[in-house]
Structure 1
Amino acid sequence: MHHPSSCPAMRDFKRLLSCLLAALCAACAQTMPQPSGPLAFNAATVGSPGSRATAELYRPEGAGPFPAVVALHGCDGVSPHYRTWARRLASWGYVVLLVDSFGPRNLRTVCNHGRDVPPELRAQDALAAAAYLRARPDVVGSRIGVIGFSHGGWTVLKSVLASDAGVEVTHPFAAAVAFYPGCEMPRSVLLTDTLILIGDADDWTPAARCERWRDIVMKHGHTVEMIVYRGAVHGFDTSRPPHAFAGHIVGQDPAAAEDAIARTQTFFRQRLMAP
């Protein structure tokens, strides 16, 4: 008895299929928006006043002006996962600024010590990034959103409150999306409609804490949509199967990821795109 993989014709077919898939992936990579290269913007929180933060800028094709999104990486720093998200957002029609909060501070990761760069400080980076975007002629300054993942999602939830970032927010984000964020007791008023996407099996940033956060901040008028995915763990939109990392279980849940991507697209479109 022959196994399917032992048949020469089948092996040839699989090689052909692999080549076709590789070609398709290469074509997709070429058509997706690519970063314009590293850039710097003013962000005094990095060090002394006048310090410069770094970021990667992704743009849709055309002159614009476009709505924009500030993107905030997780505790692992800027990685291919966040660049994939930046390209995805740009393909939806947004100028995207993927901020590097660790490089300028001479750090690579903070996964074992999350407060080495506290979310309050990163929220100030996010607000400085939004100020940079507002000054660009290809950006609609009143339509800037923010998205973050894990430590970056924690940062998002600091940046959408009136003063939890340690500064008064004078130009609130127009929309916010937080993937599996850390949720702490809020200390000030919510300024921005917010979408939280999290798994009920997340042992790093438990969903119950975010439910408490939502219940408190929604008393002040803005909307908080919270989607809890059954069985999903931390990092459910990443590409690796669930595995142990930094004392927790992290990894993909394709169904949750697909739904979360669609919800993110709709949430931003409804709040950032012109009617």
Structure 2
Amino acid sequence: MTNFAGIAALLAVLPICGATLAPAADRPPRLVEFESPLVGGPQALQGYLRLPDGSGPSPAVVLLHGCGGGWRGLDARWGKLLSEWGYVTLTIDRFGTRGIATACTGGTPPVTLYDAYRALNFLVGLSSVDPSRVAVVGFSQGAMLALLAVERGQIERDAKEKFRAAVGFYPPCLGLKGNMTVPTLILIGELDDWTPATECRNLAEGRDDWGISREKGKGIPIEITVYPGAHHDFDVPNLATPVTMLGHHLEFNEAARDQSAEALRKFLSATTAGKEKQP
């Protein structure tokens, strides 16, 4: 069996001989492969790895894309910014190596449920990463996976390595229990008609329409910020001209994007940055 994790970890930390490293803001991401034990045999997942300036070890963030894919765009929007803030980032391609084009109509592919921890296991093997300061940040369907990764349940219990914090941008909140094991933040638009803000408010307050939310006093409280006037995908500049997808309104909102970036920076600084230089 090829040890993709070991090879990728080695390549990720070796500089090109004689090269002068550019600042993190100017360096392109590095494509890495890491092992993913799937049904039917091992298969490598891939993702974009970014390393910040400095010798580390640094805090790190796993980034999870939504049901339409778009992992490269996610890395360009958030991986680059987080790297500039001083974080190692790994933006996973959950679909490409599995032959999945989209997962917007058939639900979350079961094979992706543990992807956050597969990425975490890869990151903690890097000398540039502090294994005690890794967060998971997801978007839409990826946000649900991020919340599931830290919700008290089978996925979290099965993991040897643990996340320090979780952030969900406009997640589908209905059906989550909300018994979080780490600090958790939800960022969502008031006008989101795909993943309604009301369901996430209910989750944060410990109630929902299904009656399965956490018992009072159980789990770590969920923080939530709802942005007035913002729709689904409010952080995607390519949606400056609104579009309709599967009957849902998608639109970029610069104010919400900027405010969410500041909220993310402060939350990660409080939960994972430790003694690192503050952005």
- TM-score normalised per structure 1: 0.81
What are the ranges of 5 or more consecutive residues in structure 1 without an aligned counterpart?
1-28
Give me the whole-angstrom Cα distance separating, in 1, the residues matched to 2:156 and 2:263.
30
How far does the alpha carbon of each residue in 1:98-145 deviate from its partner, in whole angstroms, 9 at most, with x for none?
011001210122223333x24xx4340101110111111110000000
- The answer (yes or no) to whether the contact 2:149–2:156 under 8 Å persists in 1 is no
Counterpart for residue 232 of structure 1: 230
Question: Which of 162, 171, 184 is the matching residue for 1:181?
Answer: 171
State whether residues 186 and 225 of structure 2, in contact with CA within 8 Å, keep that contact through their aligned partners in structure 1.
yes
Residue in structure 2 matched with residue 67 of structure 1 by the alignment: 59
Q: Which moved more, 1:104-113 or 1:87-96?
A: 104-113
The alpha carbon displacement at 1:35 in A equals: 4.0
Cα 1:134–1:31, aligned 2, differ >3 Å: closer, same or farther?
A: closer
2-side partners of 1:201 and 1:243: how far apart?
14
Match among 11, 31, 50 for residue 38 of structure 1: 31
Partner of 2:76: 83
CA contact 2:232–2:251 (8 Å) conserved in 1: yes
Q: Displacement, 1:207?
A: 1.0
Per the alignment, residue 271 of structure 1 pairs with 271
> In structure 2, do the counterparts of structure 1 residues 166 and 61 end up closer, same or farther at CA, with 3 Å as the change threshold?
closer
Alpha-carbon contact 2:59-2:273 (below 8 Å) kept = yes
What is the letter of the counterpart of residue 56 of structure 1? Y
1:55 to 47, 52, 64: 47
Where does residue 88 of structure 2 map in the other structure? 95
Cα-to-partner distance string for 1:69-116 (whole Å, 9 max, x where unaligned): 00001112123244221101111101001011001210122223333x
Residues 108/125 of structure 1: CA separation in 2 closer, same or farther (3 Å cut) = same
| Match status 1:137 vs 2:127 | yes
2:142 aligns with: 152
- Check the 8 A contact 2:24/2:83 in 1, yes or no: no
Count of aligned residue pairs for this structure pair: 243
- Assess if the C-alpha contact under 8 Å between 2:24 and 2:53 holds in 1: no
1:257 Cα shift? Answer: 0.9
User: 1:35·1:59 contact (CA, 8 Å) conserved in 2?
Assistant: no
Match in the other structure for 1:202: 192
Q: Distance in 1 between matches of 2:150 and 2:169?
A: 14
Which sections of structure 2, spanning at least 5 residues, go unmatched?
1-21, 207-213
Supply the AA of the counterpart residue of 2:97: P
Which runs of at least 4 in structure 1 moved beyond 6 Å after TM superposition? none
Kept after mapping to 2: 8 A contact 1:33/1:59: no
- Mapped to 1, the partners of 2:100 and 2:159 lie a distance apart of 27
Alignment RMSD: 2.2
The residue matched to 1:114 in structure 2 has which SS?
Answer: coil
Higher Cα radius of gyration: 1
Give how far 1:215 is off. Answer: 2.4
